[in-house]
Amino acid sequence: MITSTLSHTIQSALRDGTEQLMAVTDTPQLEAQLLLGHILDASRTWLLTWSDKPLETADFTAYQAAIARRATGEPLPYILGSWEFFGVDFIVSEHTLIPRPETELLVEAALDYTTAQDRQLTLVDIGTGTGCIGLSIAANTKNTRVTLVDICPNALEVAEQNARNQNVFVTLRQADLLDGLGMFDVICSNPPYVAPAEMADLAVSKFEPHLALDGGSNRGLDVIERLLDQAVAHLNPSGLLLVEFGSSQGAAIRDLAVAAFPNATVEIIQDYAGLDRLLRVTLP
């Protein structure tokens, strides 16, 4: 346990913090640096340059609290209050899923489609959470009106704050998937897809919202199946549907998509690790 004294320097605090985090992360030194940098509003380079600098009591106490939270297994982004996605820092909260790098594949696929069009498009991000998908698309395309949708009002508040911080104009709607919404050229979603039986063994389920993780009793596919069924009536001709899913669900997702869209082009896209990750449905 770190003990608070006026003699604690940046170096000694980082050393003690690193030791405490060894049991919960493969990168304890990096995380200790990120946490102290967050408290001091300083870069890692600054911390290393001024490692002999004594810490103020209030800063040291705040650092102790942050290390203690991380030592319980609480995800680092929740403690920092933000996380990077597609090159931008997004506010996160306990009401939102933490943005993950594999979801950038969905954003890239959407941008490949939108930037190739010479017309105005409409796009909806279902289960938006932080807004990372829809806001990243809106910030990187000029011809697409983006709507962010979530069933959780607290998540929508986070998405709205991220939109303000990034000065990106979008429409926000509270809805259960596509209920009550109109037609779109692009439908994007990173929906809940974890099977209930897997939730207990999923470390992040102790902290991240179950509403954003639990995909239902049918192998975690309930929400995705309902989304596909609804999307049939909400996707414009020549439209695009992009849905992230679990790496073991590719074959089942393909079957569901072909059943819902028998005349469309249905593709399963692999992520950078070579795992099935993204459903792409393109209407004729």
Over the stretch 39-67, which tens digit does the pLDDT of each residue have?
999 999 999 999 999 999 999 999 999 99
Domains of the chain: 10-73 (1.10.8.10), 82-282 (3.40.50.150)
pLDDT value at 108 more than 70: yes
Secondary structure (DSSP) of 116-184: T-SS-EEEEEET-TTSHHHHHHHHT-SSEEEEEEES-HHHHHHHHHHHHHHT---EEEE-STTTT---E
CA atoms of 81 and 89, how far apart (whole Å): 10
Task: Provide the pLDDT confidence category of residue 228 given band limits of 50, 70 and 90.
Answer: very high
23 Cβ contact partners less than 8 Å away, ≥ 6 residues apart? 71
The predicted structure's pLDDT at residue 4: 45
| Beta strand pairing call for 88-91 and 121-126 | unpaired
Q: 240 CB contacts (<8 Å, ≥6 apart)?
A: 110, 113, 185, 186, 187, 280, 281, 282, 283
pLDDT of residue 6: 55
Q: Would you state the pLDDT for residue 266?
A: 98
Query: Which two tokens mark 161?
Result: 């704050």
Q: What is the structure's pLDDT at 204? A: 80
- Number of Cβ within a 10 Å radius of residue 91: 18
